[in-house]
Structure 1
Amino acid sequence: MNDSVPTNYPSDSAPMDAQRLDEILDRANTATKGPWCTDSWEIYQGTEYVPGISFWIGETCRGTSDLEQDRADAAFVAAARTDVPELVAEVQRLRAERHSTNEALDDAVKALRVQQDRIAELEARLGRDAEQRHLMDPLDHALEALAPRNFPALPQQLDRRAL
């Protein structure tokens, strides 16, 4: 499969909007039903040209000095009958997929922001708790110095340490 953009395609063209895609699809839907085939220059309805039986669509791509180029152009026109609707459907599918992916990304960003806020809240709380414990250290030391050595810890010390 050749993934390169054709050389005759304008590289600076703007993205195709939904209206343009609808116009292309409308032309494809009003054209003679496909698939189409070619006998080298003329276009017929069907998958393979059968003389006297295939429905003639039109004559095209005749007149250059290069017979192989004429055949290639006719084959392109005949294939476009089924290629164009398939390409439009693929563009629509990819756009819908992109839309749902963008929605999922938006949801993920919102969830990450909630988690970031929660982390900031917990970090702030942890900082306050550490600061409170640090402020309580000198008081605890003073109470321990004043208490007799064989006396258990005062209930107030236990309560403050639980904070």
Structure 2
Amino acid sequence: MNKEELDAIRDRCEKATPGPWKWIINGNTVQSHAITTDTGECGIQEKICASISPKTRNAEFIAHARTDIPLLLAGIDKLQQGNDYAKELLDKQILRNEGLSKRVSTMKGEIDRLTAERDAALKAMKELAKENGSCLGCVNFETDITARMYASKVIRNAKDILIVGNGEE
């Protein structure tokens, strides 16, 4: 049901005779069954419709429609408000997730870059150790944590030496 249909129902409801309506029976003929409402003037009742067959439940349905429909419309309004709020929260979560996805992607790129840098440094250290006949060539830098810590220290020292050697301080 779209907004225009709901608005049309709401408009018809607002234009109808105020309620509550009630089903009255003043005999057992079709003409004795009617839907009425109190006018508020000395117990006078206004007929909404008359001549309703007692063999159907239409009179009860019609009588309750005046109060049921406004209740249903109010319930739809509350559900729509809840739906709007849920959509707002979802939109915020989507934006938050997009931001997190970008951060995760950036971090993965940084991890890949640092891993490649580490692997290149380990390879260079192994080659340097082999060239100098050092026992460092025997160490498995990928799995030995002590060797990795040593490698990191050597790399820092090497960078310091290169910086000082280039006249940078």
Alignment TM-score, normalising by the size of structure 2? 0.66
Paired with 2:157 and 2:23, the residues of 1 have a C-alpha distance of: 94
Unaligned runs of 5+ in 2: 26-32, 136-150, 160-169
- Identical-pair percentage: 23
1:58 aligns to 2:62 (yes or no): no
Q: 1:116 maps to what in 2? A: 101
Structure 1 residues 1-163: aligned runs within 5 Å: 16-40=1-25, 41-46=33-38, 53-60=43-50, 62-63=52-53, 67-69=54-56, 72-144=57-129, 146=132, 157-159=155-157
> Which structure has the larger Rg over C-alpha atoms?
2
Alignment check: 8 A CA contact 2:37 2:48 kept: no
* Greater helix share, structure number: 2
Alignment check: 8 A CA contact 1:25 1:88 kept: yes
Alignment check: 8 A CA contact 2:17 2:48 kept: no
Paired with 2:20 and 2:75, the residues of 1 have a C-alpha distance of: 18
Identify which of structures 1 and 2 has the higher relative contact order when contacts are C-alpha pairs closer than 8 Å and 6+ apart. 1
Paired with 2:134 and 2:8, the residues of 1 have a C-alpha distance of: 95
Paired with 1:135 and 1:90, the residues of 2 have a C-alpha distance of: 66
Paired with 2:68 and 2:158, the residues of 1 have a C-alpha distance of: 78
Distance 1:56 1:135, change over 3 A: same
Paired with 2:72 and 2:90, the residues of 1 have a C-alpha distance of: 26
Paired with 1:33 and 1:81, the residues of 2 have a C-alpha distance of: 8
Q: 1:4 maps to what in 2? A: none
2:109 aligned partner, one-letter code: A
Alignment check: 8 A CA contact 1:45 1:56 kept: yes
Paired with 2:134 and 2:2, the residues of 1 have a C-alpha distance of: 86
Paired with 2:89 and 2:154, the residues of 1 have a C-alpha distance of: 53
Q: Secondary structure at the match of 2:103?
A: helix
Paired with 2:78 and 2:18, the residues of 1 have a C-alpha distance of: 23
Alignment TM-score, normalising by the size of structure 1? 0.68
Paired with 1:160 and 1:25, the residues of 2 have a C-alpha distance of: 81
